[in-house]
Amino acid sequence: MTRGIRDTIRTARPIGDEEEAADTLVTALVRSARGIAGCDHVADVLTCVAEGAAAVVPGVQDAGVTVRGPDGLACAASTTDTAAAVDRAAIRAAEGPCFEAVARAGTVVLADAATETRWPQFVQEAVRHGVRASLSVPFSGRWPVGALNLHVTGHALADPALRDRICREARIFALYASIALAGAHRVENLERAVERRDVIGQAKGILMAQHDIDADDAFERLRQASQHTNIKLHDIASWVAARRTP
């Protein structure tokens, strides 16, 4: 999402009565959706999710996305250096709202860093970076397993009404982002599957031409090579295709 789009969304932050706030939130979500729709890869969508959240949720500029991978939670996207630093601090300390949110599959709020006692290491780092409050909302669905993290530097979230409003809008955005991410993930996986199939088809064609065999025999040779070498079929096919004589 470009700075221009982000700034435009920022102007649409909810103010006034509930009806006006709801209408403005919908408008902001639509604008954010257009930015996400222009992304070709999941990594780009993650960045747009972080930027969209900072634009949609009132009082938030520092937003990040943490996603669980093979080695645990990792910082996947952020809007500012502050957001990235705070999320990495949580990962290093293995504590904080994002860890709790993923483990409990629910929203976790650090309302006031000045009085928080649950996560001493995380809070110390958050305060060092100017964060006064933080909240994390887990993504829904099977992928990604992770959380949207919103860090507030301008004020604490001691006021219940303000805290409830921010939590509500963050949950709405996280749900919307989960749907967008799931769709992008499916498309990317489909594209990879098509690419793999194309490479396997190329390798089969090469073997058929070189050894005067049919498609079934060519595939069987690839399969046996994969089993004997313990190398994935796609990688074997890529090797065959790369070694084709011009």
How does pLDDT run across 184-242, given as a tens digit for each residue? 655 555 445 556 666 777 777 888 888 888 888 877 887 788 778 888 776 777 787 78
Shared-domain flag, residues 218 and 135: no
Shared-domain flag, residues 111 and 178: yes
3-class SS shares of the chain: helix, strand, coil, % to 5:
60, 15, 25
Reduce the DSSP state of residue 138 to 3 states and report it: strand
Shared-domain flag, residues 122 and 65: yes
Q: At 199, which amino acid appears?
A: V
Question: Which residues, other chains included, contact 95 with Cβ-Cβ below 8 Å and sequence gap of 6+?
Answer: 118, 119, 121, 122
The CATH number of whichever domain residue 138 belongs to comes to 3.30.450.40
Q: How far apart are CA 165 and CA 73, in angstroms?
A: 27
What is the domain range of residue 238? 189-242
pLDDT reported for residue 176: 79
Shared-domain flag, residues 115 and 213: no
pLDDT reported for residue 7: 47
Is residue 11 within 8 Å of residue 56, measured between CB atoms? no
How many structural domains does the chain have? 2
The structure's pTM equals 0.67
Is residue 120 within 8 Å of residue 128, measured between CB atoms? no
Is residue 123 within 8 Å of residue 102, measured between CB atoms? no
Shared-domain flag, residues 164 and 201: no
Shared-domain flag, residues 170 and 235: no
Record the tokens describing residue 194, joined without a space: 């098509």
Record the tokens describing residue 208, joined without a space: 């058929």
Tell me whether residue 154 is exposed, middle or buried, using C-beta atoms within 10 angstroms of its C-beta: 0 to 12, 13 to 18, 19 or more. exposed
Shared-domain flag, residues 199 and 116: no
Report the percentage of the chain scoring pLDDT > 70.
76
User: Phi, psi at residue 19, to the nearest 5°?
Assistant: -65, -45
Is residue 9 within 8 Å of residue 52, measured between CB atoms? yes
pLDDT reported for residue 185: 54
Shared-domain flag, residues 236 and 196: yes
